[in-house]
A and B are shown apart, each in its own frame.
Chain A
Amino acid sequence: MAAAIAAGAAPFPPRALATWFHRRPLLAAWLLLVPPLLWFGTVYLGSLFALLAQSFYAIDEFTATIVPRLTLATWAQLLTQPAHLDIVLRTTAMAIAVTIAAAIIAFPIANHMACHASGRMKAFFHVAVMLPMWTSYLVKVYAWRLILAKEGILAWCLAALGLDGVLDALLRTPGIGGPSLTSSYLGMFIVFVYMWLPFMILPIAAALERVPRSLIAASADLGARPAQTFWRVTLPLAMPGIAAGSIFTFSLTLGDYIIPSVVGAPGYFIGMMVYQQQGTAGNIPLAAAFSVVPIVLIGIYLALARRAGAFDAL
């Protein structure tokens, strides 16, 4: 097969050549890999390496230029300043909260989609989850800004239902509140959960679709209550899907800088710090060091997810 593709590069390849490659599938595979690997090696890995290298440079305080000499000064600055550590902790806490909330909200949708809908309904649910996922990211952020604004749609709806007191109480809560939903951690949390929800629903649905219905039937036959079946059969089997989805929700939250700046609470997030440091502050080394933090966190997370079998469900 691979031989055929290698030969496919020329319009009328000599048959002998095609056969020659067919007998050497490994060589053919590596030949096919040359262009993609060249691209990833130079453009992507090369850039990542440049990024890592930049984090070991430092900025000269007086001239505000980057000194191309290897130093740990930037890393020391990142790891010792309490304000910087706060940013890392705040972002990680948000990513964990968003991941948990997204998993809880996604599960019933995925479960219904995978186990209870059939035929046309299943296709409908697939499209209904996929379309908002692929709808323009910025348009969705913009929509939420209109919804969460002080005199926006959500406030109007809650007032119409007579629930505006609840919103005020939530906004007065220290830690998550703020002057309005568009400038509170609560609002940011809602937008994050909304944005990444489909990334959680689809892998969970895929994992649940692979669970034979007979297992659920067997569990019921053996006398398990629905709750017991859920905790001891369905949930463990859905774990790979949840893990796969959580990779997206976790990673996307860690790196986002647009949502925290558009629906912004006062505290900085890693992404905003990277964006601001490379832009207005012109401190690419510090921005680079900050952007390595999510890589490390995601690396730890991927190692954990891999152990849970997450990659089987990707």
Chain B
Amino acid sequence: MRSSRAWDAPSFGSRLAAWAGIAFLHAPVAIIVLYAFTTGDRSYDFPPPGLTLRWFALAFERSDIWQSMRLSIGVATVATFAALVLGTLAAFALARSRIRAKNALTLLFILPIALPGIITGLALLAAMKIAGIEPSFWTIVAGHATFCIVIVYNNVIARLRRLPPSWIEASMDLGADGWQTFRRILLPQVATALLAGGMLAFALSFDEIIVTIFTSGHERTLPIWFFNELFRPRERPITNVVAVLVIAVTLLPILLAYHLTRPASGRD
């Protein structure tokens, strides 16, 4: 009686729930973007009384914002580079080897994102206190690199696992040595995964606050600047503009990363 694919047809409820969920996920971000353009300087008013670009102009003149932005980009760049090197090494080592400690090592690499950030943060602070290390640019980088490694590691190891082992065997059979196989077969395959992992690591580091508060001392990254503004709401319009800038800086690398890893996930 039922059509042949009735068991597979999405019900109206399923469709509605899915779209409502997507709307729920996007509404808060949309609201912030809207408020960056409001003419009201008390942004609790809804709906906004009018739209303007004035706050962008004001925000661009603020040297404290630029300084924090530069620091955040610097930290994210160095942390991403460290994560790319260490995460790739770990992924290549564990991808197909029969190391007995493999599960334990995988767990170790995942731990910084599996445990709450506050633990990593406080642990680094405790270690810095004991070792007598003053907070600086490099302590922020150390914290960020630790949780960025796993992002690169996951991307690269996923790609390596999908790579058919026969390709490497074929290359070797055809007379290529280890270096040639790496250069001609492995590297081109892994390159986009590396780039995607790097992009995600950059976005994660640029936006990080929980660990950074513990390791930054007097340095003010952009998220720390933003965090301070949350408790001193005297300049809401400027805060809104910075929010939009932060969204833009993190979104671009993420979209690029998605595009780079797409053939695998978008396959149907």
* Inter-chain contact B29/A139, CB cutoff 8 Å: yes
* Inter-chain contact B118/A255, CB cutoff 8 Å: yes
Q: Which of B168, B181, B223, B255 contacts A138 (CB 8 A)?
A: B223
Please name all residues of chain A whose beta carbon is closer than 8 Å to the beta carbon of B32 when the two chains form the complex: 139, 142-143, 146
Q: Considering the chains assembled together, what is the distance between the CA atoms of A256 and B15 in angstroms?
A: 33
Count residues of B near A (Cβ-Cβ below 8 Å): 97
* Inter-chain contact A194/B179, CB cutoff 8 Å: no
Please name all residues of chain B whose beta carbon is closer than 8 Å to the beta carbon of A44 when the two chains form the complex: 108, 111-112, 120, 123, 146
Q: What does DSSP make chain B's interface, helix, strand, loop or mixed?
A: helix
* Inter-chain contact B29/A143, CB cutoff 8 Å: yes
Residues 1-33 of chain A, each 1 if its beta carbon lies under 8 Å from chain B, else 0:
111110110001101001101100110111011
* Inter-chain contact B146/A43, CB cutoff 8 Å: yes
Residues 50-92 of chain A, each 1 if its beta carbon lies under 8 Å from chain B, else 0:
1101100000000000000000000000000000000000000
Report the minimal beta-carbon distance from A45 to chain B, rounded to whole angstroms.
Answer: 8
* Inter-chain contact A129/B46, CB cutoff 8 Å: no
Residues 13-41 of chain B, each 1 if its beta carbon lies under 8 Å from chain A, else 0:
11101100110111011011001000000
Q: Considering the chains assembled together, what is the distance between the CA atoms of A291 and B122 in angstroms?
A: 8
Residues 94-119 of chain A, each 1 if its beta carbon lies under 8 Å from chain B, else 0:
00000000000110110111011011
* Inter-chain contact B109/A275, CB cutoff 8 Å: no
Q: What does DSSP make chain A's interface, helix, strand, loop or mixed?
A: helix
B125 interface hit (Cβ, 8 Å): yes
Please name all residues of chain A whose beta carbon is closer than 8 Å to the beta carbon of B145 when the two chains form the complex: 39, 43
Q: Considering the chains assembled together, what is the distance between the CA atoms of A25 and B235 in angstroms?
A: 59
B58 interface hit (Cβ, 8 Å): no
How many of chain A's residues touch chain B, expressed as a range? 35 or more
* Inter-chain contact B129/A284, CB cutoff 8 Å: yes
A231 interface hit (Cβ, 8 Å): no
Please name all residues of chain B whose beta carbon is closer than 8 Å to the beta carbon of A146 when the two chains form the complex: 31-32, 35, 43-44
Please name all residues of chain A whose beta carbon is closer than 8 Å to the beta carbon of B122 when the two chains form the complex: 51, 274, 278, 284, 287-288, 291
| Given A15-B177, A123-B265, A145-B230, 19 other A-B residues pairs in contact with their CB atoms under 8 A | A8-B182, A30-B99, A33-B99, A39-B149, A47-B127, A125-B18, A127-B258, A131-B26, A131-B251, A131-B254, A138-B226, A197-B21, A198-B25, A216-B8, A247-B114, A278-B214, A291-B119, A295-B119, A298-B116
A residues near B, CB below 8 A?
A: 1-5, 7-8, 12-13, 15, 18-19, 21-22, 25-26, 28-30, 32-33, 35-37, 39-40, 43-48, 50-51, 53-54, 105-106, 108-109, 111-113, 115-116, 118-119, 122-123, 125-132, 134-147, 149, 151-153, 156, 194, 197-198, 201, 213, 216-217, 219-220, 226, 229, 247, 251-252, 254-258, 262, 271, 274-275, 278, 284, 287-288, 291, 294-295, 298, 302, 314
17 interchain pairs, CB-CB under 8 A: A1-B96, A29-B99, A33-B89, A36-B149, A39-B146, A51-B127, A109-B22, A130-B258, A131-B251, A136-B246, A139-B226, A147-B28, A153-B31, A217-B7, A255-B116, A288-B126, A298-B115
